[in-house]
Amino acid sequence: MQLWVGLGNPGSKYAGNRHNIGFMVLDRIAEDHGFAPWRSKFQGQLTEGKLDGEKVLLLKPETFMNLSGQSVGEAMRFFKLTPADVTVFHDELDLAPGKCRVKQGGGHAGHNGLRSIHQHIGADYARVRLGIGHPGHKDRVSGYVLADFAKADQDWLDDLQRGISDGAGKLAQGDSSRFLNAVAQRTAPPRSSKPKPKAQPKPAAETPPEDTRSPMQKLMDKFS
């Protein structure tokens, strides 16, 4: 059994925020793969289902981002899971919009949701880092992550969610390479390998045959 956690803030006010991309991704997985209805549990919203034969619990903590670890720790203890069974989906400022990376363990890099999870279960859990880009200056970060995605972001955001849902079964099986490949198929589809037809060269203008007649013959032919 695995526990997948999406980070975000509860309530309609925050639903479209960049900080809530973790919630968005879990919603897409649950919808596409026929998971059970969401229910209130462990200070969050919980659902369960199967991905390529693996039982997976999806959890969206409703404790607000800074206290996410309370919900995660409670669920982990109830199901007798270890940090190695936990995967957290979260927004990542240090990745370009639409990029996705998988990481095992490590620091929290100042992310308040990850910091809280570190405090409750340690650092030995997996993360799926979802790029949202950086506003350019650290003083603008808070306003940036708590603002909604722009209309111009909707295409790559949808492609990213679809790619993650496509590859969810591979992630559940521990195959992060094939998972990331599924994401890339949506976010950066390969160009057609079909060679473009070569332009046909224009036919050369016909050159009139060389006139080999003598001047006298030309004159005679003119008056004949």
Of 160, 105, 167, residue with least CA distance to 133? 160
Mean pLDDT of 86-111: 93
Is 60 within 8 Å of 23 (Cβ atoms)? Answer: yes
Q: How confident is the model at residue 109 (pLDDT cuts 50, 70, 90)?
A: confident
Question: 10 Å Cβ neighbour count for 60?
Answer: 26
Least confident of 5-19, 97-111, 142-156, 181-195: 181-195
Residue 110 tokens, joined = 């100042």
Per-residue pLDDT of 72-82, as tens digits, reads 999 999 999 99
Share of the chain above pLDDT 90, in %: 80
Residues classed as catalytic: 19
2 - beta bridge partners?
Answer: 56
Q: Whole-model pTM? A: 0.83
Mean pLDDT of 206-222: 67
Of 129, 14, 8, residue with least CA distance to 59? 8
Q: DSSP secondary-structure letter at 127?
A: E
CATH homologous superfamily of 2-187: Peptidyl-tRNA hydrolase (3.40.50.1470)
Of 12, 21, 38, 43, residue with least CA distance to 116? 43
Burial class from Cβ neighbours inside 10 Å (0-12, 13-18, 19+) for residue 159 reads middle
Is 141 within 8 Å of 18 (Cβ atoms)? Answer: no
At 191 the pLDDT is 62
Going from N- to C-terminal start, the domains of the chain cover 2-187
List CB contacts of 6: < 8 A, sequence separation 6 or more: 22, 23, 24, 25, 26, 27, 58, 59, 60, 88, 89, 90
Is 131 within 8 Å of 97 (Cβ atoms)? Answer: yes
CA distance 23 to 21: 5
